Chain A
Amino acid sequence: MESSIFTTAGTRVRKIFVTEFVSLDGVMEDPGGAEKFVHGGWTMPYWSDEIGKFKFDELLASDALLLGRVTYQGFAAAWPSRTDEAGFAQRMNSLPKYVVSTTLDKAEWNNSHLGQREHCEGSVQAEAAARSGHHGRWQ
């Protein structure tokens, strides 16, 4: 893998990265505009090739996605039908997804793993300890 700002040398346990779009006043709701929030899509005017590269590098440096139920359902509705030349969608669809929810019965998006909140901490620690050198990404 090509070196990027996400590469960390000598990592023995997988790291958890949190990655968010956030406004100056700490709002992260509906950055893309699909959730009917009054300011939905607020990140769009600031999108650039540079941010696109950042998101792509970040995805390549991760080998698991950790998602809450709301974001998971949004992603699961959007990504399976998407394709792109660079392979961003293909990677989103193929990576293992870990979703934490007390209300979801099943998680049908390819390679999804559903966990209960009370089991989450132990599972994440076990995952982190079991494998090394790569990063989980909490989105």
Chain B
Amino acid sequence: MHLSLDGFVAGPNGEIDRIYLEDELFKDGHALIQTADTALYGRVTYQLMERYCPTAADSPTATKHDIDHANWVNPAMKIVFSRSLKKTDWQNTRIVKDHIAEEIAKLKEQPGKNMILFASPSLASTFMNHDLIDEYWFNVNPIILGRGKPLFKDVRSMRKLKLIGSKTYKNGVVNLHYGRN
């Protein structure tokens, strides 16, 4: 998940054009998704991805990253947590309306690879409050946004973490990898 130094995941209107990107970040991101076979989204992030991913690999301007990500996410299992979403046309999607903790407990017991929650700040807060997250991968961008979509605003409980690793990228992004303490 990309974060500004002041804890925002996007600008006030969901803008993500300020995110610092470079090949090495894409490479590590791609390696991470290979450990997973399921994507978890809140409604807003899901709808963004749904508009873009099914055809992303076919676009003449598609980058290697676009193609790699599309090739992973399109066949992957996608679970979107939403009370308002009624239907979706993107393949392999399941809509979960409620009982998030119970749903996640069931999913963890099924055989398979890891599950990754992408962006989705509201859903991430809910997951944090229910202590559902085993590992965090934050890419802290060298920017103070001042305003935007905050990741931690609705997090209500203290949680001690263990730093598993960190990596500094050439463009100034610092990746912080945390696990449960």
| Contact call B7/A26, Cβ cutoff below 8 A | yes
CB distance from A28 to the nearest CB of B (A): 12
| Interface hits, B123-181 → A, CB 8 Å | 138, 151-152, 155, 158, 160-161, 176, 178
CA distance A24 to B7 in the complex (A): 8
Residue of A nearest to B6 (CB): A26
Say yes or no for A39: interface residue by CB 8 A criterion: yes
Residue of A nearest to B5 (CB): A26
CB distance from B6 to the nearest CB of A (A): 6
Q: Which of chain A's residues have a CB closer than 8 A to the CB of B161?
A: 24
Say yes or no for A25: interface residue by CB 8 A criterion: yes
Q: Which of chain A's residues have a CB closer than 8 A to the CB of B6?
A: 26
Interface residues on B, range: 10 to 19
A16-40 vs B: 1/0 string, CB under 8 Å? 0000000011100000000000010
Q: Which of chain A's residues have a CB closer than 8 A to the CB of B178?
A: 24
Q: Which of chain B's residues have a CB closer than 8 A to the CB of A45?
A: 160
Q: Which of chain A's residues have a CB closer than 8 A to the CB of B155?
A: 25
- Between A24, A39, A45, the greatest number of chain B beta carbons within 10 A of the residue's beta carbon is seen for A24
Residue of A nearest to B140 (CB): A24
Q: Which of chain B's residues have a CB closer than 8 A to the CB of A26?
A: 6-7, 152
CA distance A24 to B158 in the complex (A): 11
Residue of A nearest to B161 (CB): A24
14 A-B residue pairs with Cβ-Cβ distance under 8 Å, sorted by A, are A24-B138, A24-B152, A24-B161, A24-B176, A24-B178, A25-B7, A25-B151, A25-B152, A25-B155, A26-B6, A26-B7, A26-B152, A39-B158, A45-B160
Partner-B contacts on A (CB < 8 A): 24-26, 39, 45
